[in-house]
Every structure is written in C-alpha cells, then in structure tokens.
C-alpha cells in the first residue's frame, strides 16, 4: 500500500508540524508561573476542557487499533472498544472530587502519597511510568508505521519527526499549548472520521459489507465468539484503569475551573462513545473491497486509502497525525509533571524553586522524547498487543484510586497489596488465557484486596490532609 509520494507526505507533515510548534510558542507566552505551565493557571473552561479530554482519549490507538480490533474480533471488537467511554464518563464525578479534595495539588502521585503513604506511592509511580512508556511507545510506533505505509517515508524517520514535533511544542507551551492544540485537533479528527465513514458506506454499502462478512468471515459477526465476549468487560475495565490512575486525566481535573470538571468529562465521554464504532466499522469493509491486509494495524488506513485514493491517504495522515499529537503531547506533559512533582520535588529536591522545577520539567520532557524514540526503534509488536499488555498494570489501580477518593477507611496496605497482586494476576491471565483478560484479572484481584483489607482492618483518614498540598513557592 502506498498512495502518497514521500514529498506530499513531507508537505502535510511540515504544515502541521509548523502549525503546532507555532501555536505552542504563542500559547506558551501566557504561562507566567509554575502553576500556569503545569496546570494552565487552573482556569480552563468547559469547551476547552471537554475538547482536550476527548482529543486525548482519541489516540492513535483509537484511530488505528479500533479498526484492528474490529477486523480481529468483529462487531464485539468495536463495541467493546467504545466501552472505553465509560472511563471518561465515570471520571466525571471523580474530577469534581479531586478538585474538591486537593485544590492546590499537582499530580495523581500527590494524592496517592498523601492518602496511602510512601510504599503505595512507589508502586503507583512504577505503574504510572510503565504505562506512560507503553502509551508513548505505541504512539511513536503508530506514527512511524503510518508514515511508512502511506508515503514510503522510512519508519524510523517518521517516528522521530512526529515525536520531536510533539516534544517541541510541549516544551514551548506547557499545558496551555497542549489543551489549545487538543481543541483544534479534536475538531479535525471528528470531521476526518465522518468523511471517511461516509465514503465507506456510500461507496461500499452496508448490505455488501454484511453479505461478504457472512460468506467469508462469519466469525466477525458471531455474537458468541469467546474471545470477543471476554474482550467486552476487559476493555471497559482497561479504560477505567487507564483514566483513573493516569496523571494525564488528573492534571486536567486540576486544571479545570471550579465546577467544570464533571460536565467536561461527562460530555467528552458521551461524544467519544461512537468514535471507535465509526473508526472500527471502516475496517469491516476490507473483505467487501477484496483488500489484502498484510498487517492487522494497517487495516483502517488501507481501506480509506483504497476508497479515496490520494485524498483518502492525506485524510488518514491528517487524522492520525492529529490523534497522535493530541495524545503524545498530553502524555509528555503529564508524565513530566509526575516525575518533576513526585520524583524530583518529592525525593530529590523538596525545596526546589519554581524556576528549578520548570527547568527540570523541560529536561524531563526532552528525556522522555529520547527514551520513546529509543524504545520505538525496533518495531517489536502490534499496537493492540502493546496496549493490552499494560492492561494488567492499570486494571490493578482502579480500586485503590476509587476507594482512596470515596472511602474514608480504606486500608493503605490493602491498596499496596491490591496493586501488586493485581499486576501478578493480570500478567498471569495475559500469558495463560489471552490479552483480552489482563485488565479484568488485575481489577478483580485488586478489588478483593482493597475491600477485604478495609472491612477487616479499617484505617481512619483525615481528608483535610489533602488541603496541605501547596505550590512550590509556599514550601520552599
């Protein structure tokens, strides 16, 4: 498959790269303090809040792995993927609670350290860092794979360019730039997906797609396919785990203006719900088109490229570049925040000034970019497999976080045991049953640990301790 020449690919890439970096520089000028840079002044409104949540959740995973899962697991694959919206919707009340509990906090790590103590904090940081790297690698790989397939630009070159552009504008603009570009990117992604879906259903037709699947790939329509059935709730729990623990979502909850968090996350979840179904259904047209799909993760781009030719190839390049950028920038900023606040300020330099923290943040963003490039260098697995592997880790964080926010007597040791044993159970399920059970097993074991330990040995907690979290100027 190659429907664009390399020079067209470079032009599209250059246009969007310059636009994002310019906007990053422009919006970065608004950041006059550490709070401004990390949390956009804690004053983000509803429209930007909703758009940044939705755009960040529409990752390259959604636009490329949703078609892959539809092609692999059938109708349940795309429906199961869309259950990821439950994560955003259920985080809506949690965003309100987070803002209420720690109005001056910075990261999810701040919460876990204050709520459960250092052992839980260390385990949580390891999970967050591992998950963050997994997500970074999956997106870096997606960028390289896509550019190579559409334009012939060499995998390593494409992967490096996309990562460097995102590092560049995140460095320049902080969370202001991330949220601002997310708004534009969400509009571009939605328009692109609607155009692609209209092209598929007007040129191929739902009847022809169904008839071909029924004769050639009947398993994709099977409502009782075991792997697909197991995937449904696994993916729902995977989404909950990703969102509940990740600082990407906590930093937005803290950056949103008072009273906005609930509405922004709820509306973003509802708006996101149909996106994987639209993206996934595109893949189901591949058999009707007689397309040979050499690699599972390229099925979406190949169908659109086949139907719309050069226009389709440009369209998919723009859609995936925007979805990559909107997630990569968020992840770089949020992971850097977590490392600066929790590791640098928390362990190395507790009295660091705002200027020192900003310097550290910039260095960490660059280091994360370099690390992502290094880990993406060998294309070791498919996107969906890479993502689902982290399910064992994030599933184990659901109950420690939810109980920590709402259950005063949650036992901190139970939270640690829940995370550690949940990971062990998730990985065991991943390797012995299948990728579609990792998050489910992790969440289940973690839930039992947290609930049983708290019922057996409840521990009181003073919620007002959360209010003591302060900006660096106040503590240095």
Stretch that binds another protein, among 4-12, 19-27, 154-162, 435-443 (CB under 8 A): 435-443
Q: Is 343 exposed, middle or buried (0-12, 13-18, 19+ CB in 10 A)?
A: middle
Extract the tokens encoding 170: 């995140």
Residue whose entry in the numeric block shows the structure tokens 């790939």:
217
Considering the complex, state which of residue 265 and residue 344 has its C-beta at the smaller distance from another protein: 265
The only residue of 6, 195, 273, 295 in contact with another protein, by rule CB under 8 A: 295
> In sequence order, what are the residues at sequence separation of 6 or more whose Cβ sits closer than 8 angstroms to the Cβ of residue 304?
196, 199, 200, 282, 312, 313, 315, 316
Q: Can you tell me which of 440, 453, 469, 472 binds another protein, judged by CB under 8 A?
A: 440
Q: Cβ of 402: how many Cβ atoms within 10 Å?
A: 18
Residue 296 in contact with another protein, rule: CB under 8 A? yes
Task: State the Cα–Cα distance between residues 222 and 76, nearest whole angstrom.
Answer: 8
Distance between CA atoms of 371 and 381, rounded to whole angstroms? 17
Binding status of residue 322 toward another protein by CB under 8 A? no
Decide whether 172 or 240 has the Cβ nearer to another protein.
240
Instruction: Tell me the window of 141-149, 350-358, 361-369, 441-449 that interacts with another protein (CB under 8 A).
Output: 441-449
Roughly what angle, to the nearest 10 degrees, separates helices 118-151 and 226-245? 120
User: Within positions 36 to 75, which residues make up the interface with another protein, using CB under 8 A?
Assistant: 71-74
> 39 or 286, CB closer to another protein?
286
Residue with tokens 């504008």: 169
- The least CB distance from residue 434 to another protein, in Å, is 6
Among 23, 79, 88, 94, binds another protein (CB under 8 A): 94
Q: Give whichever of 21 and 299 is closer to another protein, judged by the CB atom.
A: 299
Q: Which of 476, 190, 218 is nearest to 356 (CA)?
A: 476
Of 394-423, which residues contact another protein (CB under 8 A)?
398-399, 402-403, 405-408
What does the alpha-carbon distance between residue 9 and residue 146 come to, in Å, rounded to a whole number? 11
Q: What is the closest distance, in whole angstroms, from the C-beta atom of residue 469 to another protein in the complex?
A: 15
Q: Considering beta carbons, is residue 65 or 402 the nearer one to another protein?
A: 402
By CB atoms closer than 10 A (0-12, 13-18, 19+), residue 290 is exposed
Nearer to another protein, 377 or 407 (CB): 407
Q: How far is the CB of 228 from another protein (least distance, A)?
A: 8
Nearer to another protein, 175 or 298 (CB): 298
Contact criterion met (CB below 8 Å) for 92 and 262: yes
Surface-to-core class of residue 474, CB atoms within 10 Å of its CB (0-12 exposed, 13-18 middle, 19+ buried): exposed
Q: What is the torsional sign of CA 426, 98, 404, 270?
A: negative
- Which one, 179 or 267, has the nearer CB to another protein? 267
> Does position 393 bind another protein by CB under 8 A?
no
In the complex, minimum distance from the CB of residue 150 to another protein, in angstroms, rounded to a whole number: 16
CA 114, CA 109: separation in Å to the nearest integer? 8
Angstrom distance (rounded) from CA 462 to CA 476: 25
Stretch that binds another protein, among 37-45, 153-161, 294-302, 332-340 (CB under 8 A): 294-302
What count of other Cβ atoms lies within 10 Å of the Cβ of residue 122? 16
Looking at the Cβ atoms of 5 and 385, the one nearer to another protein is 385
CA atoms within 13 A on the CB side of 216: 15
Q: Residue 165, interface with another protein (CB under 8 A)? A: no
Q: Which of 161, 176, 132 shows the shortest CA–CA distance to 368? A: 132
Give the footprint of another protein on residues 196-215 (CB under 8 A): 213
Residues in 216-275 that interact with another protein by CB under 8 A? 216-222, 224-227, 229-230, 232-234, 236-237, 240
Decide if residue 432 touches another protein (CB under 8 A). no
Report the residue number, 99 or 362, with the smaller CB distance to another protein: 99
Of residues 96 and 341, the one with the C-beta less far from another protein: 96
Residues in the interface with another protein (CB under 8 A) total 56
Which residue in 264, 320, 272, 321 sits closest to 96, CA to CA? 264
Query: What is the nearest approach in angstroms of another protein to the Cβ of residue 402?
Result: 6
Instruction: Answer yes or no: are the C-beta atoms of 476 and 352 closer than 8 Å.
Output: yes
243 within 8 A of 91, measured Cβ to Cβ: yes
Closer to another protein by CB, 7 or 464: give it: 464
Least CB distance to another protein at residue 435 (A): 9
Residues that bind another protein (CB under 8 A): 71-74, 86, 90, 93-94, 96-97, 100-101, 213, 216-222, 224-227, 229-230, 232-234, 236-237, 240, 292-296, 299, 398-399, 402-403, 405-408, 433-434, 437, 440, 443-444, 447, 462-464
């Amino acid at each position: 498959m190659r429907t664009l020449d390399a020079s067209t690919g470079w032009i599209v890439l250059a246009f969007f790269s310059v636009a994002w970096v310019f906007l990053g520089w422009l919006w970065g000028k608004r950041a006059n303090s550490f709070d401004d840079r990390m949390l956009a002044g804690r004053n983000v409104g509803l429209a930007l809040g909703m758009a940044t949540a939705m755009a960040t959740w529409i990752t390259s995973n959604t636009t490329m792995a949703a078609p892959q899962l539809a092609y692999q697991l059938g109708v349940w694959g795309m429906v199961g993927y869309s259950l990821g919206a439950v994560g955003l919707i259920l985080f809506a009340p949690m965003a309100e609670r987070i803002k209420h509990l720690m109005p001056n906090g910075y990261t999810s790590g701040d919460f876990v350290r204050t709520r459960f103590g250092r052992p839980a904090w260390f385990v949580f940081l390891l999970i967050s860092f591992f998950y963050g790297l997994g997500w970074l690698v999956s997106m870096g790989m997606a960028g390289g794979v896509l550019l190579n397939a559409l334009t012939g630009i060499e995998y390593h070159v494409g992967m490096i360019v996309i990562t460097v552009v995102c590092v560049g504008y995140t460095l320049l603009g902080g969370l202001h730039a991330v949220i601002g570009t997310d708004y534009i990117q969400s509009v571009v992604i939605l328009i692109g997906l609607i155009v692609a879906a209209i092209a598929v259903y007007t040129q191929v037709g739902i009847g022809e797609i169904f008839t071909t699947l029924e004769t050639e790939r009947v398993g994709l329509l099977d409502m009782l396919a075991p792997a697909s059935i197991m995937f449904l709730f696994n993916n729902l729990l995977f989404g909950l785990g990703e969102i509940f623990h990740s600082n990407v979502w906590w930093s937005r909850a803290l950056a949103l203006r008072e009273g906005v968090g609930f509405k922004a996350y709820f509306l973003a979840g509802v708006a996101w719900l149909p996106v994987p179904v639209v993206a996934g259904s595109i893949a189901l047209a591949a058999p009707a088109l007689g397309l040979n799909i050499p690699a599972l993760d390229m099925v979406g781009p190949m169908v659109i490229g086949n139907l719309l030719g050069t226009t389709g190839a440009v369209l998919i390049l723009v859609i995936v570049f925007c979805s990559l950028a909107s997630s990569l920038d968020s992840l770089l900023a949020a992971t850097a925040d977590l490392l600066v606040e929790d590791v640098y300020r928390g362990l190395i330099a507790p009295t660091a000034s705002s200027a020192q923290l900003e310097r550290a943040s910039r260095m960490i963003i660059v280091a994360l970019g370099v690390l992502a490039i290094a880990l993406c260098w060998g294309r070791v697995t498919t996107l969906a497999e890479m993502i689902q592997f982290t399910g064992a880790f994030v599933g184990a964080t659901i109950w420690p976080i939810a109980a920590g926010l709402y259950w005063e007597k949650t036992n901190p040791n139970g939270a640690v045991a829940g995370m550690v044993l949940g990971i062990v159970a998730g990985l065991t399920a991943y390797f012995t049953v299948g990728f579609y059970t990792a998050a489910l097993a992790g969440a289940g074991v973690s839930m039992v640990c947290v609930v049983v330990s708290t019922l057996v040995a409840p521990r009181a907690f003073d919620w007002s301790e959360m209010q003591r979290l302060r900006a660096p100027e106040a503590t240095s």
